[in-house]
Amino acid sequence: MTIKALKESFQHELGSIYPKEEILSFFHLLCEAYLNKSRIEMIMTPIMELKPNQEASFLKAIQQLKKEYPIQYIIGTTEFMDLAFEVNEQVLIPRPETEELIRWILETTSADVNNTLLDIGTGSGCIPIVLAKHLPKSSIEAMDVSANALKVAKRNALSHEVQIKFIHQDILNMDALQNDYDIIVSNPPYVRESEKKQMHNNVLKYEPDLALYVSDSDPLLFYKQIAKLAAKGLKPNGYLYFEINQYLGTALCELLNSQGFKNIELKKDIYGADRMIRAVKK
């Protein structure tokens, strides 16, 4: 099979499921992953013949995409803040909104200061690893309830040559944090069960429920516990950062106020939705 024929096969097999531009994106991402060829190189070599093992990999990917399996899991990596991260079904695929959260932290955190930071619910480790890259003098810890997620995070930290202390811990079973921190950040599960109908199949079927969903009866479950821990575990004037459900911003501001935090700030993402909160310990 030639590159041109393969491209046509992608359009034919996936055209009823995805928009044309998304199919082309899948094709070029897979060409880069499987052939180490850029988009321009693919355009310039349309009659290049694939080897049997290469063809088999592409045909398998097409079948996975037909089932709406995430392209990031097929390739095994995704880009986040200009860095490549390993991802699989044990971890959430990092989102652009989380990049905004990190940039917000970096805006007010000096790279020349030895801050202590904790990421709660680290998943792939994308948050602490990017922070470690930009804040090399800081001491950074990351926590997750999933041992399998931590294995991925540790491999990512090793790949990016950063030192992070990873902790296997269920925060819902904690009374206090072991250390004091200048900054605590978390992107905990915040999608309510009733909001599942708004999710795409690639998320519903394959990304880890543990990292995504909370019950409608207690949607602030993780925020309440993290805020409680942070109220004790942050140093005076330490920062608490959350990524949040866009519909729960007001409720979270009230929660943080009741826990004794000050300077509570709600921030919108690039789509105009309430997506982040920053608060300061009194």
Give the tens place of pLDDT for each residue, 129-146.
999 999 999 999 999 999
Average pLDDT over residues 118-131: 98
Check if the beta carbon of residue 263 is closer than 8 Å to that of residue 207.
Answer: no
pLDDT of residue 37: 84
Q: Is the pLDDT of residue 44 over 90?
A: no
Q: What is the pLDDT of residues 169-201, one digit of tens each?
A: 999 999 999 999 999 999 999 999 999 888 889
Per-residue pLDDT at 46: 78
Task: Give, in degrees to the nearest 5, the angle at Cα 227 between 103 and 131.
Answer: 25
Q: Parse the chain into domains and list their residue ranges.
A: 3-67, 90-281
For residue 48, the model assigns a pLDDT of 86
Radius of gyration of the chain (CA): 21
Give the model's confidence band at 43: pLDDT under 50 very low, under 70 low, under 90 confident, else very high: confident
CA-based nearest residue to 145, from 168, 174, 119, 178: 168
In this prediction, residue 263 carries a pLDDT of: 97
Report which secondary-structure segment, H or E, holds 238. Answer: strand 234-243
| H helix runs in the chain, sequence order | 3-14, 20-35, 39-44, 52-66, 71-75, 96-107, 126-134, 147-159, 201-206, 221-233, 249-258
pLDDT tens track for 208-227: 998 999 999 999 999 999 99
Residues 6+ apart with CB under 8 A from 81: 99, 102, 126, 130
pLDDT at 94 over 90: yes
Token pair, residue 53, equals 């093992």
For residue 104, pLDDT over 90 is answered with yes
Tokens representing 261?
Answer: 């935090």
Query: What does the pLDDT read at residue 164?
Result: 98
Q: Which residue has the tokens 């990190």?
A: 102
- Give backbone dihedrals phi and psi of 266, rounded to 5 degrees, phi first: -100, 130
| % pLDDT > 90, the chain | 91
- Flag the least confident range among 29-38, 61-70, 223-232: 29-38
Return the CATH fold of 90-281. Rossmann fold (3.40.50)
Q: Per-residue pLDDT tens for 71-90?
A: 999 999 999 999 999 999 99
First to last CA, the chain: 65
Binned at pLDDT 50, 70 and 90, residue 39 comes out as confident
Per-residue confidence band for 45, with pLDDT thresholds at 50, 70 and 90: confident
